[in-house]
């Protein structure tokens, strides 16, 4: 077997061994063996992805394990890139999960958790290599089911069951769309390999329908508006290392699928395809961050930010599609590169943030930010890791979030080259909304980090918090290093991504068009930027300032005192700002979009209405997608189901009669229409 084949086999063996070992052994060993299997499998596939991406070779294999077509695997540039994404977050989650799942001991089955975790990583790894329709769909469904079972880990909580139900429902609706899409794409031939699909694509009849079904199906997995509703429900209730994997990797499968089908197999399309994707991306970004701002459940906040960042990824991809339709190939490649760069960056920093949230959850047993505080002194390493994640997601230079957002901005700026002014005007609006999103994301993470980690603990649990075990710190450290590293090397990543996209869907060979110089300056775009020089400059200045202070002989004395509170006597945690209060100005500004409900009840003293006994104020924000979109649909289906229910009378004889009638009808049909 060729070296890539060996690595693939190695990864599969590691994962299967981990799953089996976890399942067959007892809880303690199950935890360790599961983590070992997952970690080693992820490392092997990381090596595979890097090797495939750097050598540029394409590896194919067809295994006869599946009937009809066999399990067809193919690693090209796109697959290799997504393998790296899966593996990087997989390794960190596996290491983290070893320490984290200890808290489930005695309550839930650790063997099941370890086994399912390995299976999820296995399906994810094979998914990005799928090379024919049946393989793709089977692995997709397997991945969704395993993820569903993992979300159900804490199955004693009612919220978990409800979240899992929503997740499986929307995933299957998306899957139905994907089935229909592949049916149209392969013109009814289920045994079609992707190669033949690629060849037949230009001549296909229903390209627009295929595109819309692909968008629907893949955005259900990715969490794009309006199919995002399961994300803020399912990701918080899953175990934290599973949340990290889901938010970091599983939703990226939607991105992978979309790129594979629309870019690779269909080869791009008219401008409105890109415009639609761009619009959905912008809407997801803005609504995601707006709802994230109002959350005070730490993991729900992070889940809404996943919606936002998926929106940003699709902004890049949508812009790329639009430029491709206008023949602006350099900008098209840039758009896709920006989208993919943001994919891996988001996987890293969102994974890091979820692991950090898991660490906090492990220590304080609560996800509610309003009960935390002062954790930076009790959990310094978790706080540092979370700070790096928060700075990355806020797109602060010189970390990785900034590098990819800069690229997305430059792509959108290129929109000025679109010939029609009416179409080109979408770009400045997208730029403005993307900038708004970036600013709001920063505001949200000041809130998230500040309320959770800083100042005084707001509850006993936060007071008694302690630092996480070493495995959890190592897991976070891996991703933190990745965030910093990816931020410092954009001039390296961009050409590599360009090469990965080479040849896909009428895109010219990446290496020729993306000759990128150091600093990062791409021909055809508007600006240049150098992350490492920026980082070096900032560090230099950071060092110069204390030196200058020492030289001028500044007073270096520090005296510890009380927080200034206008001379008040004593300070309680209630005197600090709360998360809800922090976000209140923005809630007021965007009140029309949020439509918060307010409930104010004042109890007066029975003797006189000038004396108030108690005031109760309650405000709630219900995301109106559920109310306007889903509830009517669910009501409609319930009504239809009520009407049709009479068919199932519960009598076995009736069902047998139905089968007899159906059989007779089929025979008659076969007789009359041979």
Partner 1 sequence: MQLFSKILRVGVVTEPLGGESEAVELARRVEMKTRALGRSVAIREVDAGSCNGCEIEITGLTSPVYDLERFGLHFVASPRHADLLLVTGPVTRNMEVPLRKTYEATPDPKVVVAVGDCAKSCGVFKGSYAVAGSVDAVIPVDVFVHGCPPEPADILRGILAALDRLPGK
Partner 2 sequence: MSEWLVEVFQPFLALALAPGLVGFIRWVKARLQSRSGPPPWQPYRELRKLFRKEAVVSGNASWLFRFAPYVLFASTLAIAFLVPLLVVPRHFDMVGDLFVVVYLLLLGTFWLALAGLDVGSAFGGMGSSRAVTVAALSEPTIATAIFSLALGAGSTNLGAIVMATMSEPSTVLTPGHLLAFAALAIVTIAEAGRLPVDNPATHLELTMIHEAMILEYSGRYLALLQCGSWLKLFVFFSLLANLFFPWGVATTLTLGALAWAVVTLLLKLVLLAVALAVLETRVAKLRLFRVPELLSTSFLLALLAITSSFLLR
Find the binder of partner 2 among 512, 542, 652, 673 (CB under 8 A). Answer: 542
x-marked contacts with partner 2 along 371-400 as a string, rule CB under 8 A = --xx-xx-------------x--xxxx---
Secondary structure (DSSP) of 403-463: HHHHHHHHHHHGGGG-S-HHHHTHHHHHHHHHHHHHHHHHHHHHHHHHHHHSSS-SSHHHH
Instruction: Report whether 364 contacts 372 (CB < 8 A).
Output: yes
Quote the least distance from Cβ 562 to partner 2, whole Å. Answer: 7
What is d(CA 218, CA 259) in angstroms, rounded to the nearest whole number?
10
From the list partner 2, partner 1, none, pick the one residue 639 interacts with, judged by a Cβ distance below 5 to 8 Å according to partner type: none
CB 241 within 8 A of CB 353: no
Residue 459 or 576 having the CB closest to partner 1: 576
Is residue 559 involved in binding partner 1 (CB under 8 A)?
A: yes
From the list 492, 481, 309, the residue with the least C-alpha distance to 408 is 309
- Residue 567, binding choice from partner 1, partner 2, none, Cβ under 5 to 8 Å by partner class: partner 1
CB of 357 to partner 2, least distance (A): 18
Determine if 349 is a binding residue for partner 2 (CB under 8 A): no
Least distance CB 517 / partner 2 (angstroms): 9
> Per CB under 8 A, does 606 bind partner 1?
no
Report the alpha-carbon distance of residue 49 to residue 4 in Å, rounded.
Answer: 9
Contacted by 569, from partner 2, partner 1, none: CB < 5 to 8 Å by type: partner 1
Q: Which is nearer to partner 1, 203 or 552 (CB)?
A: 552
Q: How far is the CB of 434 from partner 2 (least distance, A)?
A: 7
Nearest approach, Cβ of 555 to partner 1 (angstroms)?
Answer: 8
**Among 570, 375, 411, which Cα is nearest to 494's?**
411
Binding mask 420-459 for partner 2 (x = CB under 8 A): -x--xx-xxx-xxxxxx-xxx-xx-xxx-xxx--xxx---
Taking CB under 8 A as the criterion, which residues in 168-227 touch partner 2?
none
Sign for the pseudo-dihedral over CA of 485, 491, 495, 498: positive
662 binds partner 2, rule: CB under 8 A: no
Strand, helix or coil at 571?
Answer: coil
In the chain, what is the straight-line distance between the N-terminal and C-terminal CA atoms, in Å?
Answer: 49
> CB–CB of 363/379 below 8 Å?
yes
**294 in Cβ contact with 323 (< 8 Å):** no
Q: Which residues make beta-bridge pairs with 368?
A: 297
d(C-alpha 470, C-alpha 96), whole Å: 9
Q: Is 668 in the site for partner 2 (CB under 8 A)?
A: no
Q: Which string of DSSP letters, residue by residue, matches 631-646?
A: HHHHHHHHHHHHHHGG
Residue 569 binds to partner 1 (criterion: CB under 8 A) = yes
Length of the chain: 674
For tokens 């899409």, the residue is 181
- Nearer to partner 1 by C-beta: 560 or 600? 560
For the segment 538-557, give every residue that binds partner 1 (CB under 8 A): 557
Among partner 2, partner 1, none, the one that 175 touches (CB under a kind-dependent 5 to 8 A) is: none
What distance in Å separates the CA atoms of residue 158 and residue 397, rounded to the nearest whole number? 42
Q: How many residues bind partner 2 (CB under 8 A)?
A: 85
Q: Rounded to the nearest whole angstrom, what is the least distance from the CB of residue 393 to partner 2 in the complex? A: 11
Binding-residue total with partner 1 (CB under 8 A): 9
User: Least distance from C-beta 362 to partner 2, angstroms?
Assistant: 21
How far is it, in rounded angstroms, from Cα 281 to Cα 482? Answer: 25
The residue from 223, 583, 594, 623 that contacts partner 2 (CB under 8 A) is: 583
234 interacts with partner 2 by CB under 8 A: no
Piece of 224-232, 269-277, 546-554, 649-657 that binds partner 2 (CB under 8 A): 546-554
- When the beta carbons of 157 and 562 are compared against partner 1, the nearer one is 562
Instruction: Tell me the window of 211-219, 223-231, 329-337, 559-567 that interacts with partner 1 (CB under 8 A).
Output: 559-567
Judged by CB under 8 A, the residue of 489, 521, 621, 630 near partner 2 is: 521
Half-sphere exposure of 615 (CA within 13 A, CB side): 5
Q: Where are the beta strands (DSSP E) in 10-102?
A: 59-63, 71-75
Does residue 621 touch partner 2 according to CB under 8 A?
no
Cβ(60)–Cβ(74) below 8 Å: yes
The site for partner 1 (CB under 8 A) is made up of: 557, 559, 561-562, 564, 566-569
């Amino acid at each position: 077997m060729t070296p890539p084949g060996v690595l693939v086999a190695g990864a599969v063996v590691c994962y299967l061994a981990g799953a089996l070992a976890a399942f067959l052994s007892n809880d303690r060993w199950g935890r360790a063996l599961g983590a070992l299997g997952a970690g080693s499998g992820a490392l092997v596939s990381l090596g595979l992805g890097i090797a495939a991406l750097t050598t540029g070779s394409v590896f194919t294999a067809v295994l006869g394990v599946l009937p009809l077509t066999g399990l067809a695997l193919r690693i090209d540039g796109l697959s290799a890139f997504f393998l790296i994404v899966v593996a990087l977050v997989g390794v960190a989650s596996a290491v983290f999960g070893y320490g984290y799942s200890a808290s489930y001991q005695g309550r839930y089955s650790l063997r099941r958790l370890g086994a399912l975790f390995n299976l999820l990583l296995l399906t994810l790894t094979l998914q990005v290599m799928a090379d024919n329709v049946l393989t793709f769909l089977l692995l997709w469904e397997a991945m969704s089911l395993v993820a569903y079972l993992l979300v159900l880990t804490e199955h004693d909580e009612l919220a978990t069951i409800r979240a899992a139900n929503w997740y499986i429902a929307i995933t299957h609706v998306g899957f139905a769309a994907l089935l229909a899409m592949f049916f149209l794409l392969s013109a009814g031939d289920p045994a079609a390999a992707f190669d033949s699909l690629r060849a037949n694509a230009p001549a296909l009849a229903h390209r627009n329908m295929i595109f819309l079904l692909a968008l629907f199906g893949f955005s259900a997995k990715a969490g794009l508006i309006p199919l995002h509703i399961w994300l803020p429900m399912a990701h918080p209730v899953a175990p934290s290392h599973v949340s990290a994997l889901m938010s970091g990797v599983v939703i990226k499968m939607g991105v992978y699928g979309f790129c594979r089908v629309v870019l690779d197999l269909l080869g791009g399309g008219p401008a409105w395809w890109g415009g639609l994707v761009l619009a959905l991306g912008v809407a997801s970004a803005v609504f995601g961050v707006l709802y994230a701002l109002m959350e005070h459940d730490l993991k729900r906040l992070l889940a809404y930010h996943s919606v936002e960042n998926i929106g940003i990824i699709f902004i890049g991809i949508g812009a790329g599609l639009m430029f491709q339709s206008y023949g602006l190939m350099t900008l098209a490649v840039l758009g896709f590169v920006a989208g993919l760069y943001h994919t891996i960056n988001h996987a890293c920093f969102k994974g890091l943030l979820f692991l950090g949230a898991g660490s906090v959850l492990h220590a304080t047993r609560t996800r509610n930010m309003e009960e935390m505080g002062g954790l930076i002194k009790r959990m310094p390493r978790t706080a540092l890791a979370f700070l790096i994640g928060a700075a990355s997601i806020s797109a602060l230079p010189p970390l990785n979030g900034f590098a990819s957002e800069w690229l997305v901005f430059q792509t959108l700026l290129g929109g000025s080259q679109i010939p029609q002014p009416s179409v080109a005007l979408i770009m400045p609006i997208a730029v403005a909304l993307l900038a708004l999103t970036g600013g709001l994301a920063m505001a949200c993470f000041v809130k998230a980090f500040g309320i959770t980690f800083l100042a005084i603990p707001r509850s006993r649990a936060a007071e008694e918090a302690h630092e996480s075990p070493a495995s959890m710190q190592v897991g976070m450290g891996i991703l933190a290093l990745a965030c910093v590293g990816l931020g410092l090397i954009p001039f390296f990543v961009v050409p590599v991504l360009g090469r990965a996209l080479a040849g896909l869907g009428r895109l010219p060979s990446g290496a020729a068009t993306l000759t990128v110089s150091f600093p990062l300056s791409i021909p055809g775009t508007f600006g240049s930027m150098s992350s490492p020089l920026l980082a070096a400059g900032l560090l230099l200045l950071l060092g110069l300032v204390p030196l200058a202070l020492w030289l001028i002989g500044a007073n270096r004395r520090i005296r510890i005192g009380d927080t200034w509170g206008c001379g008040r006597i004593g300070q309680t945690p209630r005197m600090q700002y709360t998360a809800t209060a922090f976000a209140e100005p923005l809630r007021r500004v965007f009140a029309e979009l949020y439509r918060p409900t307010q409930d104010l009840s004042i109890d007066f003293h029975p003797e006189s209405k000038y004396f108030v006994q108690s005031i109760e104020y309650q405000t709630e924000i219900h995301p109106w997608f559920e109310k306007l979109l889903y509830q009517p649909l669910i009501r409609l289906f319930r009504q239809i189901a009520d009407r049709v229910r009479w068919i199932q009378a519960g009598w076995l004889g009736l069902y047998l009669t139905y089968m007899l009638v159906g059989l007779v009808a089929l025979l008659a049909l076969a007789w009359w229409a041979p």
